[in-house]
Amino acid sequence: MIALYDFVSGPLVWVAFIIFIGGTLYRIISLGLLAKEKDQIIYSYMDTQYAFRSIFHWIAPYAATNMRQKPIFTFISFTFHIGLLLAPIFLVAHVVLMEEAWGISWWMLPDAVADVLTVAVIAACVFFALRRVYQREVRFLTAPSDYALLALVAAPFVTGFWAQHQYAGFQFMTILHIVSGEALLAAIPFTRLSHMFMFPFTRGYMGSEFGAVRHVKDW
């Protein structure tokens, strides 16, 4: 068990980060070159003012008309994304590990807040899965890979919560937590999760086209 822990928390971490960073750079560069080759007008449409206006507007809760039309979904979606970002970065255990490995640390979330965010992410994943089952228009567009992706996102939070509270078998859950986190990190550039770094580009283009060309709002 110790040897397995050393492997997943050592070499496998580097593999996951290399895949994540390399895959992200590859996706951004390849899509940028593809856009330049297939549709060069995209770059001539880009306008910094309207791009940033659109980006900041769409990351503000309930700022867009579509968000206000679906208030419950918007609340769950924003809660999910906040938890997905804050919990892994500012969790006490993760910050302590970074300090031990690299000698750097930063502000940490109180354990109670981290627990709330973790449970919120898990609950949101369940909500998104049920939505794909019971909402007809969403079910029509759903593939088995969508459920697998939700499970992949939820896994580090479920196993991390289990390990953090030291329920039965927490040592094994700790290993599963590390592995599932590494799998999620490595999968980001090659799945729909890539919108986390593609969002500024796609939203920036939409904002530029609507604002600078059509002279209308895109929300």
pLDDT at 206: 84
Distance of CA 140 to the CA centre of its chain: 24
With the CA atoms of 213, 216, 218 and 219 taken in that order, what torsion angle do they form, in degrees rounded to the nearest 10? Answer: 170
pLDDT band at 213 (very low <50, low <70, confident <90, very high): confident
Of residues 216 and 144, more confidently modeled: 144
> How many Cβ atoms from other residues are within 10 Å of residue 116's Cβ?
15
Query: Three-state DSSP class for 107?
Result: coil
pTM, full prediction = 0.89
Nearest to 60 by CA among 80, 46, 74: 74
Across residues 93-102, what is the average pLDDT? 85
Q: What is the DSSP letter of 159?
A: H
**Domains, in order of start, for the chain:** 2-213 (1.20.950)
Q: What is the DSSP letter of 216?
A: S
DSSP state letters, 61-85: TT-SHHHHHSHHHHHHHHHHHHHHH
Provide the angle, in degrees to the nearest 10, between the axes of the packed helices 195-208 and 11-38.
Answer: 20
pLDDT tens digits, 106-165: 999 999 999 999 999 999 999 999 999 999 999 998 999 999 999 999 999 999 999 999
Nearest to 124 by CA among 156, 84, 85, 165: 84
pLDDT tens digits, 161-203: 999 999 999 999 999 999 999 999 999 999 999 988 889 888 8
